[in-house]
C-alpha cells in the first residue's frame, strides 16, 4: 500500500537583520555601484515570511512598521518569489505574508532579509532543491545584502557586498543595542551624500582593515568595539544631524563602540555583556536621545525554515 503525501500548503522561514561591523566604500564602478569591502554580522532581529500557494501574486505585511512597506510589485519579497518561479519555469503564484520585526529603511537589511526568506520558502514550497549556491545567485540579483541574509553568521562582502567570503572569527556571542530613528534614510540618498562629501578627493580602493580582522580573530569585544567603522557614517550624519548625538550618548553611557548601521539611520552599539546591553538600553531610553531601543545578540544563523510550519 502506498500513501500519497498531501501537497505542501505553506512554508515559513525566518531571516535575520544585519549590522555592518565595517563598511569601506571605494570608488564608483562603471555600473554605478560603489566598490565595497564590508564585514557583516547577522543579529537576532528577525522577519518571518510565509508563502502559500494562491491564484494570484500578493503580499501582506504585519508588524509595527507594516505601513512603511510597499505591497505592490516592488516589494522585494514578492520579486524574490517570482524569481524562483521564473528560474523553475513554473506558472504558479503565491501569497507572501511578512511578519516584520526588522526596522524598515533602518540600514539593517530588512527588505533583503524578506527576500532571502522568500527564496528559501519558495524553494521548500515547490520542493525545488535549488541548493545554497543557486539560491545565492538569485539572491545576488535581487540585492547586494540578500546573499548575506541567506548565509548569516559573520562574513566579508566584496563587489557591491554580494560576494561573500568566510572570516576567521573566534566563536562567541556579542551583545548589541540598537537605537532606532523615527524617520528612515534612503540608501541611494546616503551614497549620493557620501559622493558629494568626497567630491574632488582621491578615493582609495576599499580593503578590509587589519584591526577588524584581528578583533574578530581574538573574539575580544573591546577590540571589536574599537575597530567598528563605517565610511557612510559622515553622510548619514550630514543627512540626519541628530545621529551624531546618539552615537556620542551611547559611548558616554559605556558602550564599547558605536556606529551607524550600514546606510543608517539605526545606530548600533556593542556592549560587553547581556547586563551591559540592558543598562545601555535603559540609559539611552531614559535620556530621550533615541526613539525605540532594541537589544539583540549576534552572530545568528541565516535564513532558516521554521520547524513545524512546513505543512506537508
How near is the Cβ of 101 to ligand ATP at its closest, in Å? Answer: 11
Residue count, binding to ligand ATP (CB under 6 A):
22
Binding segment (CB under 6 A) for ligand ATP, from list 102-110, 196-204, 229-237, 251-259: 102-110
105 is a contact residue toward ligand ATP (CB under 6 A): yes
112 is a contact residue toward ligand ATP (CB under 6 A): yes
| Residue in 59, 153, 41, 55 with CA at minimum distance from that of residue 100 | 59
254 is a contact residue toward ligand ATP (CB under 6 A): no
Binding segment (CB under 6 A) for ligand ATP, from list 98-106, 212-220, 249-257, 272-280: 98-106
How far apart are alpha carbons 300 and 80 in whole angstroms? 22
Whether residue 92 contacts residue 55, with contact meaning beta carbons closer than 8 Å, is answered with no
140 is a contact residue toward ligand ATP (CB under 6 A): no
Window 62-81: contact mask with ligand ATP (x via CB under 6 A)? -------xx---xxxx----
Q: Which residue has the cell 524553494?
A: 123
How far apart are alpha carbons 232 and 38 in whole angstroms? 12
How near is the Cβ of 69 to ligand ATP at its closest, in Å? Answer: 4
Is 108 marked within a binding site? Answer: yes
Binding segment (CB under 6 A) for ligand ATP, from list 105-113, 129-137, 196-204, 214-222: 105-113
Dihedrals φ, ψ of 126, to 5°? -95, 10
145 is a contact residue toward ligand ATP (CB under 6 A): yes
63 or 219: CB nearest ligand ATP:
63
- Site residues (CB under 6 A) for ligand ATP? 69-70, 74-77, 98, 104-112, 114, 145, 184, 187, 262-263
Q: Which residues are annotated as a binding site for ATP?
A: 103-113
Amino acid at each position: 500500500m502506498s500513501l500519497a503525501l498531501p501537497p505542501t500548503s505553506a512554508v515559513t522561514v525566518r531571516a535575520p537583520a544585519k549590522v555592518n561591523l565595517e563598511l569601506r566604500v571605494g570608488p564608483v564602478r562603471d555600473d554605478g555601484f560603489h566598490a565595497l569591502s564590508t564585514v557583516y554580522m547577522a543579529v537576532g532581529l528577525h522577519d518571518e515570511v510565509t508563502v502559500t500557494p494562491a491564484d494570484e501574486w500578493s503580499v501582506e505585511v504585519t508588524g509595527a512598521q507594516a505601513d512603511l512597506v510597499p505591497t505592490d510589485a516592488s516589494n522585494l519579497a514578492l520579486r524574490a518569489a517570482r524569481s524562483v518561479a521564473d528560474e523553475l519555469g513554473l506558472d504558479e503564484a503565491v501569497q507572501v505574508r511578512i511578519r516584520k520585526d526588522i526596522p524598515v529603511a533602518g540600514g539593517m537589511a530588512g527588505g533583503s532579509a524578506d527576500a532571502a526568506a522568500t527564496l528559501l520558502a519558495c524553494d521548500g514550497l515547490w520542493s525545488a532543491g535549488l541548493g545554497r549556491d543557486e539560491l545565492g545567485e538569485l539572491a545576488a540579483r535581487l540585492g547586494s545584502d540578500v546573499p548575506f541574509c541567506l548565509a548569516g553568521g559573520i562574513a566579508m562582502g566584496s563587489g557591491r557586498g554580494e560576494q561573500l567570503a568566510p572570516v576567521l572569527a573566534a566563536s562567541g556571542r556579542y551583545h548589541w543595542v540598537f537605537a532606532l530613528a523615527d524617520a528612515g534614510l534612503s540608501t541611494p540618498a546616503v551614497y549620493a551624500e557620501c559622493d558629494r562629501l568626497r567630491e574632488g578627493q582621491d578615493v582609495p580602493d576599499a580593503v578590509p582593515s587589519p584591526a577588524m580582522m584581528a578583533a574578530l580573530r581574538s573574539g575580544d569585544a573591546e577590540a571589536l568595539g574599537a575597530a567598528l567603522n563605517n565610511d557612510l557614517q559622515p553622510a548619514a550624519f550630514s543627512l540626519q544631524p541628530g545621529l551624531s548625538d546618539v552615537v556620542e550618548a551611547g559611548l558616554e553611557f559605556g558602550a564599547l563602540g558605536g556606529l551607524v548601521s550600514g546606510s543608517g539611520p539605526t545606530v548600533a552599539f556593542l556592549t560587553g555583556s547581556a547586563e551591559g546591553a540592558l543598562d545601555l538600553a535603559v540609559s539611552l531610553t531614559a535620556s530621550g536621545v533615541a526613539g525605540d531601543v532594541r537589544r539583540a545578540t549576534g552572530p545568528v544563523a541565516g535564513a532558516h525554515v521554521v520547524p513545524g510550519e512546513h505543512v506537508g
